[in-house]
Amino acid sequence: MAAILLPQQVFNVPAGVSKSYFENLTGPVNASVTVQNNSTFSVTLILTHANGPTINYVIPAAQSLTVVVPGLLLAGLFSNGGGATFGYIQVAVATL
């Protein structure tokens, strides 16, 4: 099995706004998602995957998170900490 590293995406999400950064409309795929939050407010990573509930991770200001997600369908960010958030998100997907 190999992986495809998708292009790094810079995000700048206003307070109270959510945005999708990865959608797999052809079906679930095993993936890893990395978020680097460079702002002074927390950002929530929202992951939707096959055969399970939606998972939310709150990433504090100036912190990063990498998570492996089997069956990923959607990865998005929600700026919930009282101000705009910025940083980058990157997804790597598994291939056969």
Query: pLDDT per residue over 29-59, tens digit each?
Result: 999 999 999 999 999 999 999 888 999 999 9
Strand partners, 86: 12
Which pTM does this prediction carry?
A: 0.94
pLDDT for res 26: 87
In Å, how far from its chain's centre is CA 19?
10
Please state whether 40 falls in left (phi above 0), alpha (psi between -120 and 50) or beta.
alpha
Going from the N-terminus, what domains does the chain have, and what CATH number goes with each?
2-95 (2.60.120.10)
